[in-house]
Amino acid sequence: MTVIKSFRGYRPPKDLAKSMASRPYDVLSSEEARLEAGDNNYSFYHVIKSEIDFPEEFDHYSPAIYNKAKDTLQNWIDTGILKQDVTPCLYIYAQTFWGKTQYGIVACASVNDYLNNVIRKHELTRIEKEIDRKTHIRVTRFNSEPVFFAFRDHKEIDTIIRSAVKQLPEYDFVAVDGIRHQFWVIADPATINRIETIFRDEIPYTYIADGHHRTASAAHVGEERRKSNPRHNGTEEYNYFMAVHFQASQLTIIDYNRLVKDLNGNSTEEFIKKLDTSFDVTLKGKDEYKPARLHEFSLYINGNWYVVRAKPGTYNDNDPIDSLDVTVLSKYILDPILDIKDLRQSNRIDFVGGIRGLGELRKRIDSGEMAAAFALFPVSMEQLMNIADSGNIMPPKTTWFEPKLRSGLVLHCLE
């Protein structure tokens, strides 16, 4: 069963929460972070992307970068900009967008649960990205950003959350992207104990929705600390890391689309003819077309949109991997027709989150930068959890969660 734990979070005052809150470190470039931070001295980018405080040509992985993040945090603590809660708390973090609200429990997750696969994964991680975040955690001594977890819906947890959010939130603001963020503090020991007990006794697994690299990095730093502490007893804060736990039914996965640079020597007509073997292809014309169901793609090529429906036999809905449309696309188009075999290494393919819309696909094809674009129907949370439960790994760039968690609303110290 799952361990979650209350903690004494470090938080900004109400009047600085909106100024401090930032997007996660890995969804924007250093240049974009520098622009977004502007002259805002309280932007959390000064911590999670502290290279913005150095000249653009400065090495982003220099020790000075990580030390700058540490110094900024310490300055904010010393001057009272970040204050630690007096007692261990849990927190509720809500995001409202597209007419719906999702509510997450901010708590510490267990390093042991990650190592023992109670926290379930669906993606591989890249060593260089892990090293960066491990160094950041190691130097600053903080989990500066929460990771994004899901769990299967639980009626009593839902009831507790809905009761808690009847109170006035500690933070309540609308970010520049129009997403509303609200934040409540749960300090009542009885409520905290009940939530922790339900997770321990009734929630068998949690699932990494977004943040595999941050999760792995936090867990590995916890391991390092255990090995280096001769008095380790298992209760230390470094045995835990910060996560926001959402009920799965509330989460939104949007499409993660593909663009290819060339047709592997095929003309447009030859390429579409080759699709006929495994797909039913219908010309839609100039108007954008978004896939309406599983195993349906939209193709934009040479100024036209096509509906591309996978024929029976190209997918297996009883298999967690073969039921994925990204698998169908790779197995019947990218590999055999376009000779794109390694999605992680090939420079002939690019990926665009559906949050940018179909217009982004059209723009990059019409400009001549890319040759064809495939829009996919989004993966479901049930598919994600089934894959994680089966011990399988999703192909690269399969899921895109929106909205992203804002960083800087609460931090967890490893000491």
How many angstroms separate the Cα of 283 from the Cα of each of 139, 155, 298, 388?
55, 46, 10, 36
User: What per-residue confidence (pLDDT) applies to 217?
Assistant: 97
Give the C-alpha separation, 9 to 7, whole Å.
6
Q: What is the pLDDT along the chain (415 residues), one digit of tens a residue?
A: 999 999 999 999 999 999 999 999 998 999 999 999 999 999 999 999 999 999 999 999 999 999 999 999 999 999 999 999 999 999 999 999 989 999 999 999 999 999 999 999 998 888 888 999 999 999 999 999 999 999 999 999 999 999 999 999 999 999 999 999 999 999 999 999 999 999 999 999 999 999 999 999 999 999 999 999 999 999 999 999 999 999 999 999 999 999 999 999 999 999 999 999 999 999 999 999 999 999 999 999 999 999 999 999 999 999 999 999 999 999 999 999 999 999 888 999 999 988 889 999 999 999 999 999 999 999 999 999 999 999 999 888 898 899 999 999 999 999 9
Q: Which residues of 336-374 are buried (b: 16+ CB within 10 A; e: fewer)?
A: ebbebeebeeeeebbebbbbeebebbbebbeeeebbbbb
pLDDT given at position 356: 86
pLDDT of the residue at 344: 81
Record: fold of 256-377: 3.30.1760
Whole-number pLDDT of residue 397: 84
Q: What is the pLDDT of residue 355?
A: 85
User: What is the reported pLDDT for 299?
Assistant: 98
DSSP state of 407: B
pLDDT at 136: 98
Burial 275-285 (b: 16+ CB within 10 A, else e): beebbeeeeee
List phi, psi (to 5°) of 174. -110, 120
Residue 292 CA from chain centroid, whole number: 24
CA 16 from chain centre, in angstroms, equals 25
The domain spans of the chain are 4-13+85-252+402-413, 256-377
Q: How far is CA 171 from CA 92, 311, 408, 410, 413, in A?
A: 11, 50, 12, 11, 21
